[in-house]
Amino acid sequence: MFRRFRKFRVGLAQKMIIGYVVIILLPTLLIGSLYYKQLHNNAVKDYATNREYLIQQVGSTFLMNLSQIEMIHDMFQSNRTLSGLLSGNYTTAAEQVYVYLKDLVPLFNFYKNSSNYIDRIRVYKINAKVLNLGASIVDSASTIAPEVDKLKLGEGYWLQQIVDKSPDALQLTYYKKLYNEDFTQEIGILEIRLKRNFVSSLLHSNDPSGANAHYFYVTDKGNVLGTNIVTVSKPDMPLTSGDLEQIFSSIKMPRPYQYFEASGGELLMNKFQVPKMSATIMALTPTDELFQRTNSLVRWYVLVIAALLVILSGAYFVTFSTVVQRILKLGRHMRMNLLTRYDEDRGSDEIAFLVSSYNTMITRNDELMSKIDISQLRQKEAAYLALQAQINPHFIYNGLEAIRMAAEENEDPDVAKMLYALGQSIRYSLSRSNHATLKDELSHIRSYLEIYKVRMEERLQYDIVVRDQALLLRECPRFIIQPLVENAIIHGISKRSKTGVLHIEAWLEGELAVVEIRDNGVGMTPEQLDMLNRTLDGEIRPQESEKPGGIGFMNVHERMISQFGQAYGLRITSVLGEGTTVALRIPRKGESS
């Protein structure tokens, strides 16, 4: 069977097409479909989670507002004037009217206006000797729910009523008994009636973008005028009896959110339990809009992938056909023009390498056939190898720049930043001039420090300050600051575990221009500092200095003296454990002596 398979021969073009379909096209379609499914599932899950978070936030706000309203009772209970009035301490009508207008009217108005949701605050008095005072203090009404009479000390009751069939039809009223100062006698009942738009306003203020969500207020019992479910948002959603059965059964499930199929389509249900009201705030969201948005994005995604696939396929086949044609031309030349060179100007790709190899073979064959002297052949090979070794240094910089651009395209800013700094340093080093402006020298130092920061990260901090900007245009010897910065990092900052700070500052000091390099590294002992300064002054030989980095200091010092004279060079101060300061003194106008 294997032999039969081997007899089945196909051309290179057919092989490339089969490889393209098997290796590129089919995996792309498979991965795209899996990605679409994962994208769709994630979108649905995220949407449900966000809706659940929102309903929990709405429920928490609802409970918080109820608690704030319930706390108003404590303020009325602790008010001695109100307690005295309801207990009968004010016997005359004049006294009752006076304290009501003076102390109690401001009390009622303050707490009524303290919340935008309170419609009315009223006290039902028990003592018949107390007058009815406006609409705030009245006789106990027979319309009060019987549950209020059964309240014990400290208990409150929320009455839930349906006024009409509008979304603002739910009326919530809070009742709690008032007692005298000793809590030994009931003296009245406090009633706080909320506005009918209380629930709907909370929902819309906490869910301004949920226009497609439908909110319902569901009670555990049919105690809201005989119904279990009330619509508290716009627009209304029609629900069948079968939908209501699914809702009531789903509410009892412990799951945070769930989907179910209603008569009008699939719905997402989120809920929040309100135990003190024996009720549940429920949000029903049709999934049609979500799926429409997802499907729209998916259609664009498929179109973009298809367009890219077509473009890439076209580019692939154009490139492939070009390669095949070049191979066929080379093959025909090899058949018809034996042992002759094949000339093709196509750059440096693999086919060009094949042509070059073929031409090299022809050349070597001609050399053998012509009996060229072996020594001449070796000389040519040596010359060829020497030619390969002559790499233009600018190629290195251009290569680093290409790598940096690739790193930026791959969103790797650290590598791009480091390559950019390294490229700038290489470009600076390629200059043939022995002098540079202080601006270029400091720019090189900044690139040099950026490379170190990639390695040391937060352990290295630096700043460069030039007090007089005119100094930036003055010439100075090239690479005169880098050895000092390198010594500060290697022999000072890197030997400490804390964050190293390197401060470089340039300023004018009389006829001198001073460049100071200051670090907070390990510093030097007085003996090491003395030996280093004696080395710079020429009192001892450089190899006798035991301070690490002394050679770098000496090289810079000698370059400065040879360039500008004995009056210029380095001044070093250091404190063990605090750091080292190096001052580079150069002529103000850069004139050499």
pLDDT, tens digit, for every residue of 327-374?
Answer: 777 777 777 766 677 776 666 677 777 777 777 777 777 776 665 555
Torsion angles phi and psi, residue 265, rounded to 5:
130, 180
Closest CA relative to residue 546, chosen from 558, 559, 529 = 529
188 pLDDT more than 50: yes
User: pLDDT by residue (tens digit) across 144-185?
Assistant: 888 888 899 989 999 888 777 776 778 899 999 999 999 999
Residue 386, token pair as written in the block: 């020497």
Token pair listed for 566: 């004995």
**CA 243 to CA 260: how far, in whole Å?**
9
Distances (CA, A) of 470 to 251, 295, 329, 480, 513: 78, 63, 65, 19, 11
- Give 497's DSSP letter: S
For residue 591, what are its two tokens?
A: 């004139």
Residue 578 CA, chain-centre distance (Å), reads: 38
pTM, entire model: 0.47
pLDDT band at 544 (very low <50, low <70, confident <90, very high): very low
- Joined together, the tokens standing for residue 488 give 């500060």
Mapping DSSP onto H, E and C, the string for 66-105 reads HHHHHHHHHHHHCCHHHHHHHHCCCCCHHHHHHHHHHHHH
Contact at 8 Å (CB) between 196 and 171? yes
Q: How large is the average pLDDT for residues 37-46?
A: 77
The side-by-side arrangement of strands in the sheet containing 512-519 is 460-466, 500-509, 512-519, 579-587, 569-575
In this model, does residue 578 exceed pLDDT 70? yes
Spatial separation of the C-alpha atoms in residues 307 and 305, rounded to whole Å: 5
Rounded CA gap, 427 and 395, in Å? 11
Which residues are CB-neighbours of 101 under 8 A, at least 6 positions away?
none
Torsion of Cα atoms, 537 then 540 then 543 then 549, to 10°: -30
Q: Look at residue 8 in the predicted model and tell me its pLDDT.
A: 52
Within 13 Å of residue 25, how many CA atoms lie on the same side as its CB? 12
User: Structural domain boundaries of the chain?
Assistant: 42-160+175-191, 201-289, 461-586
pLDDT over 50 at 380, yes or no? no
Lowest mean pLDDT among 24-33, 48-57, 221-230, 303-312: 221-230
Taking 70 as the threshold, does the pLDDT of residue 57 lie above it?
yes
Q: In this structure, which topology does domain 461-586 adopt according to CATH?
A: Heat Shock Protein 90 (3.30.565)
Instruction: Tell me if 333 sits within 8 A of 342, measured CB to CB.
Output: yes
SS3 letters across 308-373: HHHHHHHHHHHHHHHHHHHHHHHHHHHHHCCCCCCCCCCCCCHHHHHHHHHHHHHHHHHHHHCCCC
DSSP letter assigned to residue 577? T
DSSP state of 275: G
| 98-153 residue pLDDT tens | 999 999 999 999 999 988 889 999 999 999 899 999 889 999 877 788 888 889 99
**pLDDT for position 228:** 61
CA distance 561 to 137: 101
Amino acid at 200: S
Q: How confident is the model at residue 5 (pLDDT cuts 50, 70, 90)?
A: very low
2: helix, strand or coil? helix
Q: What is the DSSP letter of 20?
A: I
Pair 397, 426: CB distance under 8 Å = yes
Mean pLDDT throughout 32-54? 79
Can you tell me the distance from the alpha carbon of 580 to that of 11, in angstroms, rounded to the nearest whole number? Answer: 74
| Rounded Cα gap, residues 57 and 385, in angstroms | 76
* Per-residue confidence band for 401, with pLDDT thresholds at 50, 70 and 90: low
Of 101, 99, 74, the C-alpha closest to 87 is 99
**Strand pairing class (435-437; 460-466):** unpaired
